[in-house]
Amino acid sequence: MSEENTNGVAPAEANNGPAFTIEKIYVKDVSFESPNSPTIFNENVQPDLQLNLNQKVQRLSDTAFEVVLGVTLTCKAGDKTAYVAEVEQAGVFGLIGLEPQAIDVLLGTQCPNILFPYVRSMVSDLIQAGGFPPFYLQPINFEGLYAETLRQRQQQADGASLADSEPAGNA
């Protein structure tokens, strides 16, 4: 009988149950602009920060999905732009043997939770490299955002079914 070294991991074909795997994590796009430097460093006004967060999901195969977590942070000093930092952090995730609802939940909650620390670090590093004090993104409740997305989907579905069931008009 031959013995194979699997380093404590069962062969893939032996595991027929549901699986969630991280296949790859990478930076998809990154940008930093400081259009008013170096004069902006002399401004003595309270900075105004605007954060834009987005998420894109693309099916790559029956069991693989790319999730991209995008953050754009714009800092203004008065009417001048101090900086704009944009990061798109991506990951390829394997989702095997899961129901569509479970896949939707994982793509909407766990995947962005996994990507967020990378985004936070990259944004902070970019801003600091641009000559500004580092900015640390606060934790984001992706479960709450996902719940809000489900609520909006339900409202849209209710609105569509209500519009379909209303009479077309009196003749």
Q: 50-83 pLDDT, tens per residue? A: 999 999 999 999 999 999 999 999 999 989 999 9
- SS3 category, 146: helix
The verdict on residue 168 lying in a domain is no
pLDDT at position 15:
59
pTM of the predicted model as reported, rounded to 2 decimal places: 0.80
Residue 90: Cβ within 10 Å count: 20
pLDDT at position 155:
86
Cis amide leading into 38 (omega within 30): yes
**Count: domains in the chain:** 1
The verdict on residue 90 lying in a domain is yes
pLDDT at position 11:
46
Q: Token pair for residue 70?
A: 């995008």
- What CATH code is carried by the domain that includes residue 119? 3.10.420.10
117-126: burial string, b at 16+ Cβ within 10 Å, e else: ebbbebbbeb
Q: Token pair for residue 76?
A: 């203004």
The CA-based angle 120-121-123, given to 5 degrees, is 65
pLDDT at position 165:
56
Domain extent at residue 124: 23-157
Contact 70, 87 (CB under 8 A): yes
**Tens of pLDDT, residues 24-49:** 999 999 999 999 999 999 888 889 99
Could you tell me the pLDDT band of residue 162, with boundaries at 50, 70 and 90?
Answer: low
The verdict on residue 164 lying in a domain is no
Alpha helices in 14-141 (DSSP H): 100-105, 111-129
**Tens of pLDDT, residues 94-131:** 999 999 999 999 999 999 999 999 999 999 999 999 99
pLDDT at position 9:
44
